[in-house]
């Protein structure tokens, strides 16, 4: 189902946010643009539905799951109806947050009430789809405060086609190299290694998404400023990139240092062999967030989406090459290493393609502040490993995590790192306002 949803969405979200943010203060132009994008999304969703039903018809093995698939396919249409890209254009993240929380609470209540055994999986799927669909219907009517959406006879597909499809190809490349690892490990090494690899990947994906969310919401603002206030664009870009640096590098080091308690807490002792895999893949965090930020903060707002595709596709190619060559010889750790190498490739290419903007930023101070703080964290980790043996894994995680975090933050504050001081002032101001 995820592949049909991927096709239905194309590259519409990023394209709509980028272009819509630039004209959001012109209601007439924005409404015209929003109707064009909405119509294109309806067309792509209709094509996805046709492909979905044809697939079900020609693959007999899917007939046993007919009811489940028919329920899940509703998410394609309702996601299109939800027009979340429109709220992102106006940076209405309060609405998105409130809606998400309410949907999750509603889903949880309904699941406790109606889902009791594994045989209730149809009910589980129906509840999930119902909650999401209700939120999207609500979102469609809520969108009227920004633009009166309707289908248009002139969607200007030819005008929007190339950038949308370019961003779609980037989404496909990302999906390929994000999901290929499980496929290759399973085919070459079996289910046991897939389980271990999945544990490491689960931790990596959760932390990666958390870090990326810190700057992902900035794309509408950066898109607007890139066209209307170049100096303001560079100021915001500088502030955000420095924030990414002081977060992503210690995230990699902390996950590396705390990989054992993390695996034991999340998955238990039987997955202890996943620890070396997590130690390897942790270092990808140092490159993932900067790479994503370069693409979402510079390349896409400046309409260099073809460069984004080149960077992502190159990372995917390197990733799959290492899978093919390395997994059989070195096992699942090779799959983790391939993620690190692929993210390095994506970051390096994105940096090259955006260098004309990056060279105008002041980043070296944050880099060496972060490097020094992480060096001291690693020194503390070595000291802990040789002097303290925690019998309780939760205590281990809490004590070492708190200590390492305190050491790192103290280094930044002593060096008067601008980003750290900014976050501290925001925290203090927020407490006073309460």
Rounded mean pLDDT of 34-55? 90
Phi-psi region at 76: left, alpha or beta (left = phi > 0; alpha = psi -120 to 50): alpha
pLDDT value at position 428? Answer: 65
Range with the lowest mean pLDDT among 120-134, 157-171, 302-316, 339-353? 120-134
* pLDDT confidence bin for 427, thresholds 50/70/90: low
Greater model confidence, 185 or 241: 241
pLDDT value at position 348? Answer: 95
Secondary structure string (H, E, C) spanning the chain:
CHHHHHHHHCCHHHHHHHHHHHCCCCHHHHHHHHHHHHHHHHHHHHHHHHHHHHHHHHCHHHHHHHHHHHHHCHHHHHHHHHCHHHHHHCCCHHHHHHHHHHHHHHHHHHHHHHCCCHHHHHHHHHHHHHHHHHHHHHHHHHHHHCCCCCCCCCCCHHHHHHHHHHHHHHHHHHHHHHHHHHHHHHHHHCHHHHHHHHHHHHHHHHHHHHHHHHHHCCHHHHHHHHHHCHHHHHHHHHHHHHHHHHHHHHHHHHHHHCHHHHHHHHHCHHHHHHHHHHHHHHHHHHHHHHHHHHHHHHHCCCCCHHHHHHHHHHHHHHHHHHHHHHHHHHCHHHHHHHHHHHHHHHHHHHHHHCHHHHCCCCCHHHHHHHHHHHHHHHHHHHHHHHHCCCCCHHHHHHHHHHHHHHHHHHHHHHCCCHHHHHHHHHHHHHHHHC
* pLDDT confidence bin for 21, thresholds 50/70/90: confident
Q: pLDDT (tens digit, 9 = 90+) per residue, 277-333?
A: 899 999 998 998 899 889 888 898 888 889 988 998 898 888 888 888 887 778 788
- Please tell me the distance from the alpha carbon of residue 235 to that of residue 33, in angstroms, as a whole number: 29
Q: pLDDT (tens digit, 9 = 90+) per residue, 364-397?
A: 888 889 899 999 999 998 888 888 787 788 888 8
Q: pLDDT (tens digit, 9 = 90+) per residue, 145-183?
A: 888 888 888 888 888 888 888 888 888 887 777 777 777
pLDDT value at position 351? Answer: 94
pLDDT value at position 429? Answer: 60
Rounded mean pLDDT of 106-110? 79
Range with the lowest mean pLDDT among 1-5, 236-240, 391-395? 1-5
pLDDT value at position 430? Answer: 52
Range with the lowest mean pLDDT among 41-55, 93-107, 154-168, 245-259? 93-107
Contact between 293 and 243 (Cβ < 8 Å): no
pLDDT value at position 274? Answer: 86
Q: Would you give the DSSP letter of residue 388? A: -
Greater model confidence, 63 or 162: 162
Kindly report each contact of residues 21-28 with a partner whose C-beta sits within 8 Å and lies 24 or more positions away, as own/partner: 21/89, 21/219, 21/220, 21/221, 21/223, 21/224, 22/223, 22/224, 22/226, 22/227, 22/228, 24/89, 24/90, 24/220, 24/224, 27/147
pLDDT value at position 434? Answer: 47
pTM of the model: 0.81
pLDDT value at position 122? Answer: 81
The CB-side HSE value for 38 (13 A sphere, CA atoms) comes to: 21
Q: What percent of the chain has pLDDT over 70?
A: 97
């Amino acid at each position: 189902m995820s592949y049909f949803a991927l096709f239905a969405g194309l590259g519409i979200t990023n394209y709509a946010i980028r272009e819509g943010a630039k004209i959001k203060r012109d209601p007439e132009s924005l409404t015209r643009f929003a109707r064009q994008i909405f119509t294109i999304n309806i067309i792509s969703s209709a094509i996805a539905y046709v492909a979905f039903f044809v697939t079900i018809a020609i693959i007999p093995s899917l007939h046993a799951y007919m009811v489940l698939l028919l329920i899940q396919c509703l998410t394609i249409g309702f996601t299109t109806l939800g027009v979340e890209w429109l709220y992102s254009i106006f940076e209405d993240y309060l609405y998105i947050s409130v809606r998400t929380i309410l949907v999750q609470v509603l889903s949880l209540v309904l699941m406790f009430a109606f889902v009791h055994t594994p045989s209730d999986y149809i009910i589980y799927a129906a509840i999930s789809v119902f909650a999401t669909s209700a939120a999207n219907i609500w979102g469609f009517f809520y969108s009227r405060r920004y633009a009166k959406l309707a289908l248009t006879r002139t969607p200007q597909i030819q005008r929007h086609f190339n950038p949308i499809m370019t961003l779609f190809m980037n989404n496909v490349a990302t999906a390929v190299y994000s999901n290929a690892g499980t496929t290759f490990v399973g085919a070459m090494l079996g289910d046991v290694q897939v389980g271990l690899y999945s544990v490491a990947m689960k931790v990596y994906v959760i932390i990666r998404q958390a870090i990326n969310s810190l700057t992902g919401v900035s794309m509408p603002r950066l898109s607007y400023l890139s066209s209307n206030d170049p100096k303001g664009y560079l100021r915001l870009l500088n502030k955000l990139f420095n924030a990414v640096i002081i977060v992503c590098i210690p995230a990699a080091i902390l996950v590396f240092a705390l990989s054992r308690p993390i695996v034991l807490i999340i998955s238990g002792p039987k997955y202890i062999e996943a620890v070396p895999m997590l130690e390897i893949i942790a270092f990808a965090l140092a490159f993932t967030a900067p790479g994503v930020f370069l693409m979402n903060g510079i390349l896409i707002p400046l309409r260099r989406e073809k460069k984004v595709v080149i960077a992502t596709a190159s990372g995917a190619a390197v990733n799959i090459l290492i899978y093919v060559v390395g997994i059989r010889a070195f096992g699942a750790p090779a799959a983790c290493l391939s993620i690190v190498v692929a993210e390095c490739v994506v970051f390096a290419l994105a940096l090259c393609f955006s260098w004309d903007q990056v060279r105008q930023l002041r980043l070296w101070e944050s880099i060496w502040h972060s490097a020094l703080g992480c060096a001291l964290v690693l020194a503390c980790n070595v000291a802990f490993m040789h002097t303290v043996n925690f019998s309780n894994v939760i205590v281990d995680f809490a004590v070492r995590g708190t200590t390492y975090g305190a050491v790192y933050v103290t280094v930044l504050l002593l060096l008067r790192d601008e980003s750290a001081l900014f976050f501290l002032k925001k925290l203090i101001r927020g407490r006073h306002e309460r």
